[in-house]
Amino acid sequence: MKKALITGVNGQDGSFLSDFLLKKGYEVHGIIRRSSSFNTSRIEHLYVEELKSSDNFYIHYGDMTDTSNIIRLISEIKPDEIYNLAAMSHVKVSFETPEYTADVDGIGTLRILEAVRILGLEKKTRIYQASTSELYGKVQEVPQRETTPFYPRSPYGVAKLYGYWITKNYRESYDMFAVNGILFNHESERRGETFVTRKITMAVARIANGKQNKILLGNLDAKRDWGYAKDYVECMWLILQHDTPEDFVIATGEMHTVREFATLAFKHAGIEVEWQGEGIDEKGINARTGEVIVEVNPEYFRLAEVEQLLGDPSKAKKLLGWNPTSTSFEELVEIMVTHDCNLLKEEKSAITEY
């Protein structure tokens, strides 16, 4: 039985990857940070006794800033595969916590690579580093591919740039199977509530049910390549099964604006949006009631905006046989809106029963 170690296992990608690997017959070990509040809702179905769906899932406490802890865990588990998904991944917050972001996202990657090397596991353990489309930042060509020059525009992107290059350096210096998956935006019903896509779908559910009047958003013209996280974790696994260690762009090859995402989300909830005005004065109007349901708030603008990200998944399609659009953009938005509408109904039901 293969063993996999996942950092950031309680995040969106970590939870989907755990589900995927367990179905593949893996023994899965996940690292989470100790917290005074519960932060494991995405993986409770894997370890809570009454909900448990697998006996091959194990949780360990750890932190990407703790070198001795990382070395100890890798030494004890001796994993066949490591998926480094842990990160301070919120771009805007990275401007407020740049040093911490660098330590976790940049040096944290080095700690894992060094642990594998020090323990003599270079030939046994394959390492997947979660890189990001934010590496491209101020894009130098469209679409972005494996050979496109990087130009990160945030402390998060810069920290991930170090993670990317140190992974590549260890691969070339120590002949390790260490690879980067350059993931473009990938969303799901498990996305954190502070990310714009989930913020939109949750607000749409509340507005549709009379629980909220409107939503405040930042740059409506920002363009992103949005895919479904559940599809993307399959590509992570495929990258580590490839015969040779190579870096891959993981994207859909399609681009949509924040405005398009919001329009489609409202449509799935039965609300037609009409857009009026420009720039910070632009508003989304409920076509049926005439009420303002979307407004722009400059506070949500980035200090250094990334205007457009569009990935070219040709290499992954050709060499890995991966289908980047098995879940379409429209299906992704529908999945998220439906989930949040149902979540709201469950909350109302629980209150009624209480």
Residue 324 to residue 232: CA distance in whole angstroms: 8
Active site residue 101: no
Length of the chain: 354
DSSP letter assigned to residue 142 = S
The pLDDT of residue 33 is above 90: no
Q: Residue 53 has what pLDDT?
A: 60
Residue 180 to residue 239: CA distance in whole angstroms: 9
Residue 205 to residue 62: CA distance in whole angstroms: 36
Active site residue 201: no
The mean pLDDT of 146-172, rounded to a whole number, is: 98
pLDDT bin (cut points 50, 70, 90) of residue 122 is very high
Among residues 7, 125, 132, 327, which one is catalytic?
132
The pLDDT of residue 84 is above 70: yes
Residue 147 to residue 184: CA distance in whole angstroms: 15
pLDDT by residue (tens digit) across 39-53? 677 887 776 544 456
pTM: 0.92
Q: How does strand 215-217 pair with strand 292-296?
A: parallel
Determine the straight-line distance between the first and last CA of the chain, rounded to whole angstroms.
45
On average, the pLDDT of the chain sits at 93
Which amino acid appears at position 140 of this protein?
Q
Q: Is the dihedral of CA 183, 331, 346, 21 positive or negative?
A: negative
Nearest to 217 by CA among 274, 262, 151, 169: 262
pLDDT by residue (tens digit) across 278-310? 999 999 999 999 999 999 999 998 887 788 899
Among residues 134, 187, 234, 334, which one is catalytic?
134
pLDDT bin (cut points 50, 70, 90) of residue 246 is very high
Among residues 26, 128, 136, 156, which one is catalytic?
156
Active site residue 27: no
The pLDDT of residue 188 is above 80: yes
